[in-house]
Structure 1
Amino acid sequence: MDYSYLITPFLAWLICGLTKFLVNSIKSKRLAFDLIGYGGMPSNHSAIVSSMVSLIAFKEGIDSSAFGVSLTLAFIVILDANSLRQQIGKHAKAINEINSNGNIKLRERIGHTKLEILVGILIGMITGLFIA
């Protein structure tokens, strides 16, 4: 049985998560456990889906139906990370400003910039290539 299709996205997630933790810790000059989650450099979602796209491309070829399905899913996830989730972050910031005396603060860092997505895609592609 070929476990590479199970291992690859998990490995991409792990590498990306550790990278994000290191980047956040260096930027904030402390161990940034509270910054783990959505948003930030690099994009976990982009790394996970692009790792699968590249693994399928290297193992089965770009003319396989699995490649087409994985590429379609990757486009949806990446577009969502950049557009929809960035808008949600802007809404959370506006709500937090309106509700400044409230005891509940919404998370504002949700979406990703194009650079964060690009780095996530590169991590995913390298992971897929390495496992293939």
Structure 2
Amino acid sequence: MIFLKQIGKNEIFIVAVFSWFIAQVIKVVNTFIAEGRIDFTRFVGSGGMPSSHASFVMGLSTAVGLKHGWDSTYFAMSIAFSIVIMYDAAGVRRAVGKQAIILNKMIEDIHRRKEKKLTEKRLKELIGHTPVEVFAGAILGIVLANLMI
């Protein structure tokens, strides 16, 4: 219980979580605008515009820089962490999503030709982010941190 009280007072953590939350809300709104329906699975799902991963880590890094200084060890660790997360979101996880698309098409082709009955479920295709989605998420986190700290 003490942990929850203390972390609830941590401005830097609050900025990071709020940055993630706003990015996820934007995804739900974007889906509503594009498809005319509210899809709350977008609130907890990965992928999409903007990257909540990038928003979270850049909100964190910006808040750390504002509180502890841009030349602090804390900021250096935080920005290094952010770069790894954003690279992973736009690189490795994006590649996994592209592979899932190809594998899903292969499974559909096998089903259509009725060569073999497969019981595998469709793979999740929206896993990673485009560089634009990562950039938008990073900007969102930076802006929110500057507004909140």
Deviation at 1:128, TM superposition (A): 1.1
Report whether the alignment pairs 1:7 with 2:24.
Answer: no
Distance in 2 (CA, whole Å) between partners of 1:32 and 1:119 is 21
Report whether the alignment pairs 1:61 with 2:69.
Answer: yes
Report whether the alignment pairs 1:27 with 2:34.
Answer: yes
Q: Retained in 1: the 8 A contact 2:20–2:52?
A: yes
Structure 2 gap ranges (5+): 1-5, 112-117
CA deviation map 1:4-57 (0-9, x unaligned): 022111111111110111011111121123444111000000000000111011
Distance in 2 (CA, whole Å) between partners of 1:7 and 1:21 is 21
**Counterpart residue number, 2:51:** 43
Residues 1:18 and 1:35: Cα distance change in structure 2 (over 3 Å): closer
1:89-100 correspondence to structure 2 within 5 Å: 89-100=97-108
Query: What number of residue pairs does the alignment pair up?
Result: 132
Query: What TM-score results when the alignment is normalised by the length of structure 2?
Result: 0.83
Q: Retained in 1: the 8 A contact 2:24–2:42?
A: no
AA aligned opposite 2:38: L
CA deviation map 1:79-125 (0-9, x unaligned): 00011011101111111111113451111111111111111011100
Larger Rg: 1 or 2? 2
- Give SS of 1:46's match: helix
- Give SS of 1:99's match: helix
Structure 1 gap ranges (5+): none
Please tell me the root mean square deviation across aligned C-alpha atoms, in Å. Answer: 1.4
